[in-house]
Amino acid sequence: MNDAVFAQLRRLRIVPVVEVQDAERAVDLARALSGAGLPAAEITLRTPAALDAIAAIADALPDFLVGAGTLLGPEQVHAAQEAGARFGVSPGFTPALSSAAASAGLPFIPGAVTASEILAASGAGHRHLKFFPAESSGGADAVSSYAGPFAGAGIAFMPTGGIRPETFSRYLSLPNVFAVGGTWIAPRDAITEGRFDEIRHSARAASALARSL
């Protein structure tokens, strides 16, 4: 299961990171993303509506790759999996998060930005890591520097944090980046105000550029 999820993220290359304020918007959001060629999203557990949003998408659109982000503790891992999340993302790595994801059978992308954090996460068996906050942690240059020591170990990153339409292609050109994520595709206000045409437009543009690289 892990392999299929990571393969899909690698194929899509762009992961919209979204904060949903109202779960009733979730299915329309997912439909807009799918229609634009990006049938995946990391729904951040930063709002009370997040778990309901994940459940609504999982129920209505079983082919949509819905993930849960901002997993900070084991209880959130279990809640995300119960809601129907098909993968989990954390800004950091802890052994407790890692074990919870393993016991829930949830493909998990922990965060790591330093060499020691990368070693800790890879020592727990993780090969797909979030690099967050990407732009303020050295950006694409920093990620590129990790190709030397860590690519042999099969470590690949999903940078997020401060990435914009004009900067994501630099990350995607790196051999040790499997996808990039960010909120620029579906900003919180655009979701809340139901501006799905705008979201479709950003998603289409990002996905077309990613495919052309």
Binding positions for ligand 3PG, rule: CB under 6 A: 17, 44, 69, 132, 160-163, 181-184
User: Of residues 19, 24, 82, 130, which has the active-site annotation?
Assistant: 130
Q: 97 with 71: CB under 8 angstroms?
A: yes
- Residue 42 a catalytic site member: yes
| Cβ burial 60-79 (10 Å sphere, 16+ → b, else e) | ebeebbbbbbbbeebebbbb
Q: Which residue, 39 or 187, is less far from ligand 3PG as judged by CB? A: 187
Whole-number minimum distance, CB 196 to ligand 3PG, in Å? Answer: 19
Q: Which residue, 17 or 30, is less far from ligand 3PG as judged by CB? A: 17
User: Cis link prior to 133 (omega < 30° from 0)?
Assistant: yes
Whole-number minimum distance, CB 83 to ligand 3PG, in Å? Answer: 18
Q: Which residue, 48 or 62, is less far from ligand 3PG as judged by CB? A: 48
User: Of residues 42, 75, 82, 193, which has the active-site annotation?
Assistant: 42
- Residue 75 a catalytic site member: no
Whole-number minimum distance, CB 167 to ligand 3PG, in Å? Answer: 10
Whole-number minimum distance, CB 119 to ligand 3PG, in Å? Answer: 22
Distance CA 38, CA 32 (A): 9
Residue 66 one-letter amino acid: V
Q: Which residue, 105 or 179, is less far from ligand 3PG as judged by CB? A: 179
- Long-range CB contacts for residues 181-187, cutoff 8 Å, separation at least 24: 181/14, 181/15, 181/16, 181/17, 181/42, 181/89, 181/130, 182/16, 182/17, 183/16, 183/17, 183/18, 183/19, 185/14, 185/16, 185/33, 185/38, 186/16, 186/18, 186/29, 186/32, 186/33, 186/41
Distance CA 176, CA 160 (A): 14
Structure tokens at 8: 């899909």
Whole-number minimum distance, CB 47 to ligand 3PG, in Å? Answer: 13
Q: Which residue, 122 or 160, is less far from ligand 3PG as judged by CB? A: 160
Positions annotated as catalytic residues are 42, 130
